[in-house]
A and B are shown apart, each in its own frame.
Chain A
């Protein structure tokens, strides 16, 4: 460094030139400085390319679904009939199935996942923590076809012969838990989804809780709070934004998951109160019918389902981001 510096002084005898040099930085760095605007342009290009890719996807989806949009308009979203023979297409049953299975999945996986994270971070001894943490991450790596097979051959009979009868006798006064169960249906799909998104929620929440400063816990304990009060009132609120992020990630996966759900949901487009009944999701029907679909309107309607799924996922993400942003701003307070 010193050698470079004296060198540059030696070759620039006048102070004026020294000034100009200083503004541009030492010679060794000049190359970087001229690269900087280029680098910025490259980054901008990458950023723009993502936006234009997104625009292209939307454009293609819109173009593909134009026939269906023109034919059915808004009624596409509310119509329950999906009849490829009569060429009548409505998405309501699929929207319903997607929503119900995702809600079931989150209702189960969110408390369980956060509970696992709390256990791992706040209670488990280090050995347990590492082994259990590894297992949780392993769960996330299992391909969805394996979950599907497991759901079909293991979980479905358990639901049919074990869970459904119990729910029917205990909670049967609710329309949600009435009627026969064949093992395959929205409840089973929701359970499978819960298992599939659980590792996301648990792993991300664990990282979030680990990142909560120990000082926050000690501050609470020092005020005479119990361990549970500390977790509930201090640790979880501190990690709220991060945990919400985990939940959104999970919801995104639940909305879009196809293979495993298709294998256990029964693939029957209908809207019925009972969670034991078979249902159908948007992603499943696209995956099931796209390759064999014949006819302009049929293909177009499947594409419009894709568009709908895209819009829903996009909206969910947008709302979630807004929530997280507002929450983290709330936590920081009005510093400005």
Chain B
């Protein structure tokens, strides 16, 4: 087991966004999180790498463990947590820097200075993200010049470059066309060997295709979590069934 959330409750001011969520995240698996809009999927994901710390007025109770170590606590450095738990966002957000610098960024802030090593890791990450062949001749052009799908894969490459143990992906393909979406999905399946992935998705086919386990969120609560095949064929809860059969959401 890679990560474990126990009795996690997150509030934005007085508003409770997720309530008492406990879930295990298994190593080298893809966990898909599904549920209707506003049910707290992003909030939960962002509490796994302490990204919620940046939101003013947020409060987190309960605990999240990474390899058995708590990530919330006075001694924990959120920056170190984020180096191990990377994140890719719904909307691609490359920096207004060159393609190379986008990928090298995490390496540099992580302390890697040696030029050869940086270049090697950048290439490796771009290959992992299946972007290398498309950009290898234009590494020093702006990352903003890429197409939407390429930008999202650049962001994935950027996250992979720092070699995180866990990768959090918040609807990474929701803004992409079908071909680009397929590429991202393929990527997710391939990456499973090296790391643990938690992916939020709106698209149930996508969840079924890429994940081993699926969790269903509804109104801030984790209704059900289990093997993906089980969730989609024999859901235990009524609400899950209503959702996956398209009765709401």
Contact = CB atoms under 8 A, between A and B. Distances in A.
A219 B105 CA distance: 10
B142 A222 contact: no
A96 interface: no
Main secondary structure of the interface of A (DSSP, over half): helix
A331 B97 CA distance: 7
Interface in A116-150: 125-126
Contacts of A334: 141-142, 145
B144 A332 contact: yes
Contact of A222 (B51, B80, B91, B110): B51
A334 B144 CA distance: 9
A237 B96 contact: yes
B162 interface: yes
B30 to A, nearest CB: 19
Nearest to A224: B83
A333 B135 CA distance: 14
B162 A331 contact: no
Interface centre among A125, A223, A234, A237 (most CB of B within 10 A): A223
Contact of A226 (B79, B93, B144, B159): B79
A217 interface: yes
Given A332-B142, A332-B144, A334-B145, A222 B86 contact: yes
Contacts of A238: 95-96
A217 B105 CA distance: 13
B105 A223 contact: yes
Contacts of B159: 222-223
B56 interface: yes
Contact of B143 (A213, A237, A333): A333
Interface in A316-336: 330-335
A236 to B, nearest CB: 12
Contact residues on B (Cβ < 8 Å of other chain), bracket:
20 to 34
Interface string B190-224: 00000000000000000000000000000000000
Contacts of A333: 96, 98, 141-145
Interface string B89-103: 101011111100000
A225 B106 contact: yes
A125 B162 CA distance: 32
Nearest to A334: B141
Contact of A219 (B83, B95, B110, B144): B95
Contacts of B86: 222-223
Interface in B127-172: 141-145, 155, 158-159, 162
Contact of B82 (A221, A233, A237, A332): A221
B64 interface: no
A79 interface: no
B141 A234 contact: no
A233 B109 contact: yes
Interface residues of A, number: 27
A256 B97 CA distance: 36
B109 A218 contact: no
Contacts of B95: 216, 219-220, 234, 237-238
A334 B110 CA distance: 29
Contacts of B143: 333
Interface centre among A126, A213, A217, A229 (most CB of B within 10 A): A229
B87 A226 contact: no
Contacts of B49: 222
Given A126-B56, A222-B159, A233 B105 contact: yes
B54 interface: yes
B148 to A, nearest CB: 13
B96 A332 contact: yes
Given A126-B56, A224-B106, A233-B109, A219 B145 contact: no
Q: 7 nearest interchain CB pairs?
A: A333-B142, A224-B83, A223-B106, A222-B87, A215-B93, A331-B96, A333-B145
19 contacts: A216-B93, A219-B89, A219-B94, A220-B105, A222-B86, A222-B87, A223-B82, A224-B79, A224-B83, A233-B105, A234-B95, A238-B95, A238-B96, A330-B142, A333-B144, A333-B145, A334-B142, A335-B142, A335-B144
Given A222-B49, A223-B158, A223-B159, 9 more contacts: A219-B94, A220-B95, A221-B51, A222-B89, A223-B82, A223-B106, A224-B162, A226-B109, A238-B95
